[in-house]
Structure 1
C-alpha cells in the first residue's frame, strides 16, 4: 500500500485569508520565504494560491506535487529522514504518552519537535530545505511557491502531512510505535484487588506557615537564621511529599527561593519577583539571555507573527531571545513559553507569569 495521499484543489479563498495558523505551519512558510530571494515571486505565489490556480495536491514521501495552469507539473522536494533518524524520532515519541495522543489529535507538540531536534532529527524544514521544480519555462517559479503556500493549509489540519513528507505515513508510524510498546504484565483480578482493602493513608503535612521553634540561644548560634533554615527544610519536605518531585537547586537559586518564601532582604528584588512568577524557569530567563537555535527562532517568529497578524509593531527591537517594544519586553524561554518584562528605570523587571501564547501578553 502506497503512503501517497491526495487532496482536492483548494477553491478561491476569501480576501484576507491567512496561510497558516499553527506554529508548525508558520515555520513551514518561514522556510519557504527565507529560501527565496525574489519577493515578487513570493507575492505571485501567494496570489496563485489564494485564487485557486492549482489542481489537486498529492503528498508522498519527500514530495509535494500538483498540476498548475497550462498543465505544468509542479513539484517540491523535501529531504526524507534516514532509517536511523526515524528510530531516534520514534524513541522520542514513545518516551511520552502525551506525544502520541497529541499527534492523533492532529497537534504537533513543541516539546516533541525540540526533543527530536536534540536527537539530531530535523522535522520542520529550515531555509534551503524546500527544493522546487516545475515544467513551466520560468526559472523562478510562482507555481511551486503557490504549492508551498497551499501546503501550509494541509499542515495546519494534519501534522502527519509533515511526517509523510519526511518519509513515513500515519499508518506506518502508528504500527512502528505499537511495536515499541512494552509487553503488558499480567494483572491482578479485580475481585482479589478489592478483597485486599484500602490501606490507611499517612496523615497530611501540617497546614499553614512554619511557626518559630522557640529555641534558647546558644553562644555563637543565630537562632533566627536557624529557624529560617528549619522552615525552609520543612517547606521542601512538604513539596516533596505533595508532588513526589523536588528539583535540584543551585546555591544561588536556593537563596532566591528562601528570600521569596521568608521575605529576606538580600538585595535580590528582581530575582525574587521572577521566582514568585514561575520559580527556577523564570529566574533563568531573567538572568541568562540565550541565542535560540534556528528551529527555536522559527517557532518564536511564527508565534509572534500570529499574535501581530503578520505586521510587527513600530519600534520593535530584537536581541537574541528578547523582543522589545518601548518599555515592554517579551523574552522567549528555553521551555517554549513567553515571559513578560517591563522597564523600571534602567532595569528590566519580571511583569507576570509566562504564557505559551505571546498574544495573551500583548493586549
Structure 2
C-alpha cells in the first residue's frame, strides 16, 4: 500500500465543553450510522465529551479503517478503530463513471463537496458510499463490551469533523486515495485522439456547426413512433458527437433528458416529470449547461468574486445579502454564480428556489 493511501491527521485537541456536531450532511450521515447502531446512548454522550476534551490522539485513515489512540480519565490509553467495507473494483468503476459523466459532480468533488444527487446517482448504480446502520464496525482494546464503546464513539465524532473538511477521507476508507481518484477521473475526461482523419490537420476537429438536425434528415413517422421522435434522436446524437470530438465528458441520461425537454417542449412530458425535473428544465432553458450545473452543484468561489458581488448589490439594495458558497440571497430573490462568472437569478416558490431568468455578469442587474 502506497503512502498516498495512508493519511495521518493531527489530534484536534480540546474543542469545548460539549464539542460540535458535524456540519456537512455527509458528516451527519456518518454519525447517524453510528448512532442508529448504538445499544447504549450513554456511551455516545460520553464519547462526545471525550472528543470535545481532546482525548483522541492523531488519527490515521487507510482503506477500510480509521484508527487512533484514545485516552481515558479512568485508564488507558486504548487502541481504537472503526472499520468500513471497501468498494469492489466494479463498484469503483461505476462510481467514477458517474462522477466523470457530470461536470457539476466532478467540480463539486474536487472542491471537496459531496452533492446529494451525486450520492443518489451512485446509489442508483448500486454503489453505496455513505455508511448506514450496521456498516461501521468499531473495535477497541478497552475492557468495555458496548458497541460502540465511548472510545470508539469519540473517534467517530472526530471522524465526522474530518469528513466535514474533506469527503476524500470517506473515499479513502472506501478504498482509493485522492491522487488515485483524480488520475482515474482525468483518464475518463481526457480528450480522445483516435478520431483524427488522415486528411485533417493534427488536432483539427470536423466542423459540425452547419449541421442542423431539426431539418435533416427528414424521416417519416413509423407505426407507434412519431416523426418528431426521429428529429429528437438525431439532435441528441449530434450533440453527443460534438461533445465527444471536443473532448468533453458526456454528462449522462438525466442531462440528455433535461436538454431535450428544454429544446423540444412538446415532448417534455415523455422525458421526465415532477418538480425536480421541471426545475432542471427551467435551469437549462435560461442558462444552458451552466444553468443546470449551478442548480445541481454548489461550489466555493474565490473571495474576490464574492467581494465584487457584494459591492454590486450594495448599489441596488439596502438589504444585507446572505452568502452561502456561490449562492447569494436577498429577500425573496437569490442569485447563483457559475464557473464562468455569470450570476443566475432564482425566485422562491413555496419551499424551493426556481430559476427565474437569464444570467448576468453583474448580479446587481438581476436585483435592480
Q: Partners of 2:6 and 2:24 in 1: how far apart?
A: 23
**1:182 offset after TM fit, Å?**
4.7
**Could you list the per-position Cα deviations for residues 63-82 of structure 1 after superposition, in whole angstroms to 9, with x for gaps in the alignment?**
01001122311011001101
**1:162 offset after TM fit, Å?**
0.6
Instruction: Please name the residue that 1:88 is paired with.
Output: 94
Bigger CA drift: 155-164 or 62-71?
62-71
Instruction: Please name the residue that 2:265 is paired with.
Output: 246
* Alignment CA distance shift 1:166-1:241 (3 Å): closer
Gaps of 5+ in 2: 211-258, 281-348, 355-368
Matches within 5 A, 1:208-287: 244=263, 246=265, 248-250=267-269, 280=278
Q: Partners of 2:143 and 2:116 in 1: how far apart?
A: 40
Bigger CA drift: 4-13 or 66-75?
66-75
Match of 1:117 among 110, 120, 123: 123
Are the aligned partners of 1:72 and 1:135 in contact in 2 as well (CA < 8 Å)? Answer: yes
* Alignment CA distance shift 1:152-1:98 (3 Å): same
Q: How many equivalent pairs are there?
A: 225
Structure 1 moving runs of 4+ over 4 Å: 185-190, 240-243, 278-282
**1:121 offset after TM fit, Å?**
0.2
Q: Partners of 2:260 and 2:181 in 1: how far apart?
A: 39
Match of 2:156 among 148, 152, 161: 148
**1:109 offset after TM fit, Å?**
1.6
**Could you list the per-position Cα deviations for residues 164-204 of structure 1 after superposition, in whole angstroms to 9, with x for gaps in the alignment?**
011111011111122223534569899x99xx9xx99xxxx
Instruction: Please name the residue that 2:38 is paired with.
Output: 36
* Alignment CA distance shift 1:66-1:245 (3 Å): farther
Gaps of 5+ in 1: 201-239, 255-273, 283-349, 356-363
**Could you list the per-position Cα deviations for residues 71-109 of structure 1 after superposition, in whole angstroms to 9, with x for gaps in the alignment?**
311011001101111111111011112222111111012
Are the aligned partners of 1:60 and 1:165 in contact in 2 as well (CA < 8 Å)? Answer: yes
**Could you list the per-position Cα deviations for residues 100-138 of structure 1 after superposition, in whole angstroms to 9, with x for gaps in the alignment?**
211111101211101100000000000110000001111
3-state secondary structure, aligned to 1:25: helix
Instruction: Please name the residue that 2:55 is paired with.
Output: 53
3-state secondary structure, aligned to 2:182: helix
Are the aligned partners of 2:17 and 2:53 in contact in 1 as well (CA < 8 Å)? Answer: no
**Could you list the per-position Cα deviations for residues 202-240 of structure 1 after superposition, in whole angstroms to 9, with x for gaps in the alignment?**
xxxxxxxxxxxxxxxxxxxxxxxxxxxxxxxxxxxxxx9
**Could you list the per-position Cα deviations for residues 279-311 of structure 1 after superposition, in whole angstroms to 9, with x for gaps in the alignment?**
8469xxxxxxxxxxxxxxxxxxxxxxxxxxxxx
* Alignment CA distance shift 1:188-1:42 (3 Å): farther
Instruction: Please name the residue that 1:173 is paired with.
Output: 181
Q: Partners of 1:169 and 1:72 in 2: how far apart?
A: 27
**Could you list the per-position Cα deviations for residues 33-88 of structure 1 after superposition, in whole angstroms to 9, with x for gaps in the alignment?**
11102110110110011100011000000001001122311011001101111111
Are the aligned partners of 1:19 and 1:150 in contact in 2 as well (CA < 8 Å)? Answer: no
TM-score (normalised: structure 1): 0.55
Q: Partners of 2:172 and 2:81 in 1: how far apart?
A: 15
**1:18 offset after TM fit, Å?**
2.1
**Aligned Cα RMSD in Å?**
3.5
3-state secondary structure, aligned to 1:114: helix
Bigger CA drift: 175-184 or 91-100?
175-184
* Alignment CA distance shift 1:250-1:188 (3 Å): same
TM-score (normalised: structure 2): 0.54
3-state secondary structure, aligned to 1:128: coil
Q: Partners of 2:260 and 2:62 in 1: how far apart?
A: 51
3-state secondary structure, aligned to 1:54: coil
Instruction: Please name the residue that 1:72 is paired with.
Output: 78
